[in-house]
Amino acid sequence: MANANPLLLLSSLLLTYAICSFSLPPCPSCGSTSVPYPLSTAPNCGDPSYRIRCVSGTLLFDSSNNSYPITSISPSNQRLIVAPSSFLPNTCIAADLPSNGLQLNSSAPFNITSSNTIFYLNCSDTILNSPLNCTSNSLCHLYVNGTNSASDCGNTPCCAFRAGGSTTSYRIRVRQDGCRAYRSFVNLDYGLPVSRWPQPGVELQWVLPREPTCGGQGDCGWGSTCGPDPNSNAGIRRCFCNSGLQWDPLTGVCAKECQDPDGCGKDPTPLIAGLTAGLGVALIAALIGFLVYRRHRRIKEEQERLTREREEILNAGGGKTAKVFTGKEIKKATNNFAKDRLLGAGGYGEVYKGILEDGTMVAVKCAKLGNAKGTDQVLNEVRILCQVNHKSLVRLLGCCVELEQPLLVYEYIPNGTLLDHLQGGNRGLLSWKRRLSIAHATAEGLAYLHFSAVPPIYHRDVKSSNILLDEKLNGKVSDFGLSRLAHTDLSHISTCAQGTLGYLDPEYYRNYQLTDKSDVYSFGVVLLELLTSQKAIDFNRPPDDVNLAVYVQRLVEEERIMDAVDPMLKEGASTLELETMKALGFLAVGCLEERRQNRPSMKEVAEEIEYIISITAAKAAEQ
Ligand SMILES: *[C@@H]1O[C@H](CO)[C@@H](O)[C@H](O)[C@H]1NC(C)=O
Ligand SMILES: *[C@@H]1O[C@H](CO)[C@@H](O)[C@H](O)[C@H]1NC(C)=O
Ligand SMILES: *[C@@H]1O[C@H](CO)[C@@H](O)[C@H](O)[C@H]1NC(C)=O
Ligand SMILES: *[C@@H]1O[C@H](CO)[C@@H](O)[C@H](O)[C@H]1NC(C)=O
Ligand SMILES: *[C@@H]1O[C@H](CO)[C@@H](O)[C@H](O)[C@H]1NC(C)=O
Ligand SMILES: *[C@@H]1O[C@H](CO)[C@@H](O)[C@H](O)[C@H]1NC(C)=O
């Protein structure tokens, strides 16, 4: 059908356009379980008042005094199921009896739903006076009789009831002088035989989240403003959506309000079907033609408006102008992402070589960012990264947000990566002087990111394959700030996925935070690569020496640092040059200090390398 495509296009346009901003992204998956908004496994994702925990791939729900594994989550109706406490071995006593069973914090946004059928087991006789169903034909007897794991509960009073009443919406109470164990089933069909009942579970529901709280405007994403909560007298402030936008509690974003006078997302078919009866075929054809034409025009206008608005976001605040590339432009430039244009594939996605209409060569990077960020947020981050301007940093020229994944468009650096050069056949091209110069340039680029960029940018993935060389073999740092675009936690995940373990700050394993000093650590490894021409991780070295950082640190302890230096560099080197190699080695080892506070800052590293270069130059001038 002629109008199928434009419709599809329009709806996808509206869809991407609806996503505007949120303060915190949804949390990354826990093991293979995804964690929908607003559930929060860390302070920097989800809505922190919906705290759950992720422990070695399992999600845990913390009640007031206990933890229960989460077995399923259903974000569409804000429900999750936790596994109830088990019985102590060979008894009819619940493991959570000491803490009086399952008790939810009534200030937390969770309650127990009325879909739960609860059995109280091993009850004292006093329970028989309760309003619960403790008769001999109560369902709980059926359960005890029909379930092996509950066989210890036979011959004791038991009762059944539906949860969710006022006293049971926050707790399933067991206690020493009442009932000592419980079981719960979600949506139990009383007609089924016990053998076909589902696994025991307690279903909880969460309240739809409000706008995130904020201390100041800085906590709020684009499209929202920090202001006092009119429903709170405790002085709480929240990121309220700006006018024209509406809080969507399911996704935690400010979404565009519907402004289409013809109704948003309404299928035109009923209208057409209704008219069919009364109108002649020709008239209908004309009408359809007109609708299609109008739709086409609207799509075009919509597209132009979108591009304009995106460009405005991208270039807000002045400075360097960044370009919003259209999907068409990028497809043309990369010959529709042709295989022979593929430059490489990194942890964040593939990189293609592109030639723009004016002949400019660019590198187009597909940013595999998950669905963590909305279009406007991507634009906002790209805007920040486009402001970054230093001769040793690869320039980001703009982006394209029209195709499936956001694309980043960089200046094209022709000569491959430092890693390729050090490990390829022609590492001889990299003289000692050249290597010092590459080290200096990249250190300055990183120092610029840490100390001159606003806000400061931590690279988080410094490695020799992220240092590009231009035609004169000048070093240029690429891929900085990609972590800003991704999930907050993606740096962690991608580090594993990319196998850049050889570069990873060991303190990261202790607190899962990457700082400027983590970049310093990784840069220390790059310095060792420049010095030794060896790989950061190499399984061809003896087992203890697989990790280059560990290997060189050992040699330093044995006062044999020069043994690590690339023999090609040592060959024919002057005494002074040998001394500078040693000096760079010690600087690298300083960057690799176990404790962050003992590592130099990137600025100090850059100055130190400059000093090493200056003594070589001074001596050369003397001779
Ligand atoms: C039922 O609870 C009582 C009191 O805690 C305990 O002594 C008894 O062993 C329990 N019965 C079974 C079968 O575990
Ligand atoms: C369990 O938590 C509640 C607070 O929600 C507290 O009042 C109670 O004393 C706790 N019970 C135990 C046994 O720790
Ligand atoms: C219950 O939740 C409130 C607010 O989230 C918190 O301040 C309080 O410490 C919690 N109480 C317990 C017993 O966990
Ligand atoms: C108790 O539950 C059983 C089984 O569902 C039912 O047949 C019976 O009528 C209930 N008795 C009372 C007093 O509610
Ligand atoms: C318990 O189950 C057995 C068979 O599994 C059945 O013969 C017996 O009548 C049941 N007793 C009760 C009280 O339901
Ligand atoms: C639990 O919370 C939901 C969402 O706020 C609410 O609709 C429901 O009535 C509550 N259920 C109970 C039993 O309090």
Into how many domains does the chain fold? 4
Most confident of 16-25, 243-252, 363-372, 413-422: 413-422
- Do 428 and 392 fall into the same domain? no
Look up the CATH number of the domain holding residue 536.
Answer: 1.10.510.10
CA of 113 to the centre of ligand 6 (A): 7
331 annotated binding-site participant: no
- Do 518 and 578 fall into the same domain? yes
Which residue of 145, 148, 158, 195 sits with most ligand 5 atoms within 8 Å of its CB, as the best mutation to test the pocket? 145
Q: Is the pLDDT of residue 7 over 70?
A: no
Q: Is the pLDDT of residue 276 over 60?
A: no
Select from 140, 145, 221, 224 the least CA-distant residue to 183.
140
- Do 354 and 442 fall into the same domain? no
Domain boundary among 394, 411, 428: 411
Residue 446: pLDDT band by 50, 70, 90 thresholds?
Answer: very high
pLDDT (0 to 100) of residue 583 = 94
Which residue of 51, 63, 107, 110 sits with most ligand 3 atoms within 8 Å of its CB, as the best mutation to test the pocket? 107
Of the listed ranges 1-15, 32-46, 593-607, the least confidently predicted one is 1-15
Give just the sign of the alpha carbon dihedral 505, 509, 510, 511: positive
Percent of the chain clearing pLDDT 90 (strictly above): 45
Domain boundary among 172, 197, 222: 197
CB of 137 shorter than 6 A to ligand 4: yes
Q: Is the pLDDT of residue 73 over 90?
A: yes
Residue 270: pLDDT band by 50, 70, 90 thresholds?
Answer: very low
Is 482 among the domain residues? yes
Is 114 among the domain residues? yes
Are the CB atoms for 534 and 548 separated by under 8 Å?
yes
What's the DSSP call for residue 262?
Answer: T
Residue 29 or 373, more confident: 29
Is 490 among the domain residues? yes
CB of 107 shorter than 6 A to ligand 3: yes
Cα gap 424→129, rounded to integer Å? 84
Most confident of 226-235, 386-395, 560-569: 560-569
CB of 116 shorter than 6 A to ligand 1: no
Q: Is the pLDDT of residue 388 over 80?
A: yes
Give the pLDDT confidence of 169-181 residue by residue, as tens digits: 899 999 998 999 9
Residue 261: pLDDT band by 50, 70, 90 thresholds?
Answer: very low
Look up the CATH number of the domain holding residue 400.
Answer: 3.30.200.20
CB of 158 shorter than 6 A to ligand 1: no
**Going by C-beta distance under 8 Å and a sequence separation of 6 or more, which residues neighbour residue 405?**
349, 366, 367, 368, 369
Is 186 among the domain residues? yes
Select from 461, 459, 475, 462 the least CA-distant residue to 422.
475
Are the CB atoms for 378 and 313 separated by under 8 Å?
no
CB of 108 shorter than 6 A to ligand 3: yes
Q: How far is CA 246 from CA 18, 240, 403, in A?
A: 10, 9, 25
pLDDT (0 to 100) of residue 460 = 86
Select from 133, 191, 192, 189 the least CA-distant residue to 157.
133
- Do 114 and 185 fall into the same domain? yes
Q: Is the pLDDT of residue 545 over 60?
A: yes
CA of 64 to the centre of ligand 2 (A): 7
**Going by C-beta distance under 8 Å and a sequence separation of 6 or more, which residues neighbour residue 609?**
436, 439, 440, 443, 584, 587
Residue 528 or 359, more confident: 528
Of the listed ranges 372-381, 504-513, 595-604, the least confidently predicted one is 372-381
Cα gap 390→606, rounded to integer Å? 14
No. of H helices and E strands in the chain?
16, 23
- Do 439 and 398 fall into the same domain? no
CA of 249 to the centre of ligand 5 (A): 49
Q: Find residue 354's DSSP bridge partners.
A: 362
- Do 501 and 575 fall into the same domain? yes
- Do 472 and 590 fall into the same domain? yes
Residue 239 C-alpha from the chain's centroid: 21
Is 15 among the domain residues? no
Structure tokens at 31: 């093991």
Nearest CA to ligand 3 atom 10: 105
Cα gap 311→462, rounded to integer Å? 30
Q: For residue 111, give the ligand 6 atom closest to its CA.
A: 1
**Backbone phi, psi, residue 280, to 5°:** -70, 160
CA of 59 to the centre of ligand 3 (A): 20
Which residue of 62, 63, 64, 102 sits with most ligand 2 atoms within 8 Å of its CB, as the best mutation to test the pocket? 64
Are the CB atoms for 409 and 351 separated by under 8 Å?
no
CA of 86 to the centre of ligand 2 (A): 19
Nearest CA to ligand 6 atom 1: 111
What's the DSSP call for residue 304?
Answer: H
Q: How far is CA 525 from CA 28, 511, 533, 548, 575, in A?
A: 29, 21, 11, 7, 25
CB of 426 shorter than 6 A to ligand 4: no
Strand (E) or helix (H) holding 567? helix 567-570
461 is catalytic: yes
CB of 66 shorter than 6 A to ligand 2: no
Residue 495: pLDDT band by 50, 70, 90 thresholds?
Answer: very low
DSSP 498-545: HTGGGG--TTHHHH----HHHHHHHHHHHHHHHHH---SB-TTS-GGG
Cα gap 50→78, rounded to integer Å? 11
Nearest CA to ligand 4 atom 1: 138
DSSP 98-142: GGTSEE--TTSSEEE-TTEEEEEEEE-GGGGGSSSB-STTSHHHH
CB of 103 shorter than 6 A to ligand 2: yes
Domain boundary among 149, 166, 197: 197
pLDDT (0 to 100) of residue 6 = 39
CB of 459 shorter than 6 A to ligand 5: no
Are the CB atoms for 102 and 172 separated by under 8 Å?
yes
Cα gap 265→235, rounded to integer Å? 39
Select from 487, 390, 493 the least CA-distant residue to 447.
390
Counting ligands in written order, which one lies closest to the CA of residue 166? Answer: 6
Is 286 among the domain residues? no
Is 308 among the domain residues? yes
- Do 565 and 444 fall into the same domain? yes
CA of 132 to the centre of ligand 4 (A): 10
Residue 316 or 13, more confident: 316
Is 567 among the domain residues? yes
- Do 449 and 402 fall into the same domain? no
Write down the pTM of the prediction: 0.48
Out of 96, 376, 461, 505, the active site residue is: 461
CB of 180 shorter than 6 A to ligand 1: yes
Q: How far is CA 27 from CA 37, 372, 551, 623, in A?
A: 7, 9, 37, 61
- Do 479 and 593 fall into the same domain? yes
- Do 552 and 618 fall into the same domain? yes
Domain of residue 351, residue span? 298-411
Nearest CA to ligand 6 atom 4: 207
- Mean pLDDT of the 558-582 span: 94
Nearest CA to ligand 6 atom 10: 111
- Do 123 and 232 fall into the same domain? no
Q: For residue 98, give the ligand 2 atom closest to its CA.
A: 13
Q: How far is CA 82 from CA 68, 175, 449, 486, in A?
A: 6, 20, 45, 30
Report helix, strand or coil for 42: coil
CA of 585 to the centre of ligand 6 (A): 63
CB of 224 shorter than 6 A to ligand 1: no
CA of 152 to the centre of ligand 5 (A): 15
Q: For residue 152, give the ligand 1 atom closest to its CA.
A: 13
